[in-house]
Amino acid sequence: MNNLKLIGPFKQLLPMSGLPLKGALADEQLIVLENAGIIIDGEHITQIGNFNDLKLKFEDIEIHELKGDHTCVPGFVDAHTHICFGGTRANDYAMRNAGKTYLEIAKAGGGIWDTVTQTRKATKSALVKNTKKRANRHLKNGVTTLEVKSGYGLSIAEELKMLYAIQEANEAIPTDLIATCLAAHMLPKDFEGSAASYLENISTSLFPILKSEKLTNRIDAFIEESAFSASQITPYFEKAREMGFDITVHADQFSTSGSTVAVDFKAISADHLEVSTEKEIEALAKSDVIATALPGASIGLGCAFTPARRLLDAGGALAIASDHNPGSAPMGDLLTQAAILGAFEKLSNAEVLAGITFRAAAALNLKDRGTLETGMLADFSLFHTGNYQEILYNQGNLKPCVVFKRGSLVFDKHNSPPASKGGV
C-alpha cells in the first residue's frame, strides 16, 4: 500500500540545506523554493520539488493541497530548556526588577533553591502534566524538538523523579523531548558534605541508572561562582566521558571558565556565554563546540546578550535556545527571543533561522532534523505568509498555522489543539 503524502503548494519553502555549520551566513546563501511541495513517506521526507511536478510524477498519493499563501520552514529545535519544574518564581522577578540583588532574593526564600523545594513537593504526575502543557505551548510556536533538563531535584531520588517525568511526557506528546541530567546545578543546601563529595555521589550512584534506564545520554553542569568551579567539575565530567555521555555546559553566564571546560572536554555545546570575552570567543570558534545563546535569560535578568555577532564572525557555530525556566527565563518563546537577539546583535535572517534549526539540532547531536531534504524527519511548520522574511520581521507575533511532526499533522490553528503521540 502506498503511504506517500504530498503537502503543498508553498509560496516559499526554506529547506535550510547546503549551509555550513560554522561561521557567518548571508541571506543570499538561503535557498528559497517557490511553489514547492514535500513528499512524505511515514516519518521522513522522500522528496522536495515543484508541487505541480510532484503531483504529476506520483500516482496513488494522498494529496494535502493548501489554499492561500504559506511559507514552510523546518521545525524549530529548542536546545536548552528547564520546563520540568514545580511552582513559580514570579516574586523573584518582581523583586529583581525592584532592584533586589540575587543574594537578597535568596535570603527572602527565592532563587534556584525555591524551585528545588517546590519541585520536590510536586508529584511525578504533576510534573508530567506541567511538562506536557509547556511542551505543547512550544509546539504551537513551531518547536518540534525540545531539550529538557533535570536539576531541580538535586538528590538521586528527586533527579530520577524528574527524568522519569520527562520520559513519560515524551511518550505522550508529539514533540521529541531530549532529556539532560543537570544534577550539577548547584550544591543542595541539605547535602551534608562538600561539593566534591556531592558530585562523586551523583556520578557514582546516578550515572549508572541513567544508562541502564535509558533516561538520558546527556550530562550538564553549571560552572559558576554560585554553583561549581572548573576544578570541582573536572572529575565529574571525566566520569561522564568515560561512561560515554555527551557533555554540555552552562558556561560564562556571570563569570568565565565554563567555556574553557567545554572546549577541553570537547562538549557538544557551551550555553549562555553572556560574559565571554575575545579569549573565550576565539577558543570556541576554533573548537567543534556549539555556542548556544540564551536570549531569554538576558531578557529575564536584564543583562547583556551573548556576543552572537562576534562568535559568528570568529567562525563559531551559533545555536539559539529559549532557556525556558521559572527563574531567569519565564517567557519561553523561542521565535520571539531569537528575533530580538537578531535585532540587538545584527544577525541575518539566515543566521537566526540556522540558530533555531540545523545548528540547534547539532547542539543536541541530532543529525536527522533541522533541514528539509530527502531522508530527514518530516518536521516542519507553515506560516500564513508568502515571504519568509515576515517570520522574523514580526518578532514572534506571526505564529505557525500548521505544524507537522514526524510526518503527522500535530497542530492546525483552525481545527485542533496539539495531538497526542502519533499525530491526528
Domain edges within the chain = 4-75+371-412, 77-363
How does residue 58 score in pLDDT terms, banded at 50, 70 and 90?
confident
Query: H/E/C letters for each residue in 31-53?
Result: CCEEEEEEEEECCEEEEEEEHHH
How does residue 419 score in pLDDT terms, banded at 50, 70 and 90?
low
pLDDT digits (tens, 9 = 90+) for 301-318: 999 999 999 999 999 999
Residue 359, pLDDT score: 99
Residue 203, pLDDT score: 98
Q: Tell me, what DSSP letter sits at residue 287?
A: S
Q: Is residue 313 within 8 Å of 24, Cβ to Cβ?
A: yes
Q: Is residue 281 within 8 Å of 308, Cβ to Cβ?
A: no
pLDDT digits (tens, 9 = 90+) for 176-194: 999 999 999 999 999 999 9
The full DSSP string for 156-183 is HHHHHHHHHHHHHHHHHSSSEEEEEEEE
Q: Is residue 272 within 8 Å of 250, Cβ to Cβ?
A: yes
Runs of H (alpha helix) within 147-291: 156-172, 195-201, 207-212, 230-242, 258-264, 278-286
C-alpha cell at 322: 529559549
How does residue 1 score in pLDDT terms, banded at 50, 70 and 90?
very low
Q: Which residues contact 172 (CB under 8 A, 6 or more apart)?
A: 128, 132, 420, 421
Residue 416, pLDDT score: 59
| Helix orientation angle between 112-121 and 156-172, rounded to the nearest 10 degrees | 70
pLDDT digits (tens, 9 = 90+) for 395-415: 999 999 999 999 999 999 988
Find the angle CA(135)-CA(118)-CA(249) to the nearest 5 degrees: 60
Q: Is residue 326 within 8 Å of 91, Cβ to Cβ?
A: no
- What is the percent of the chain with per-residue pLDDT over 70, rounded to a whole number? 97
Q: Is residue 357 within 8 Å of 145, Cβ to Cβ?
A: no
Residue 414, pLDDT score: 84
Residue 417, pLDDT score: 54
Statement: residue 211 has pLDDT above 50: yes
Residue 3, pLDDT score: 84
Superfamily for the 4-75+371-412 domain: Urease, subunit C, domain 1 (2.30.40.10)
Q: Which CATH number fits domain 77-363: 3.20.20.70, 3.30.420.40, 3.20.20.140, 3.40.50.1950?
A: 3.20.20.140
pLDDT digits (tens, 9 = 90+) for 105-137: 988 889 999 999 999 999 999 999 999 999 999
Statement: residue 7 has pLDDT above 80: yes
Runs of H (alpha helix) within 272-387: 278-286, 295-301, 308-313, 334-345, 349-355, 358-363
Q: Is residue 163 within 8 Å of 179, Cβ to Cβ?
A: yes
Q: Is residue 270 within 8 Å of 257, Cβ to Cβ?
A: no
Same-fold call for 4-75+371-412 versus 77-363: no
Tell me the pairing of strands 269-272 and 246-251.
Answer: parallel
Residue bearing cell 500535530:
410
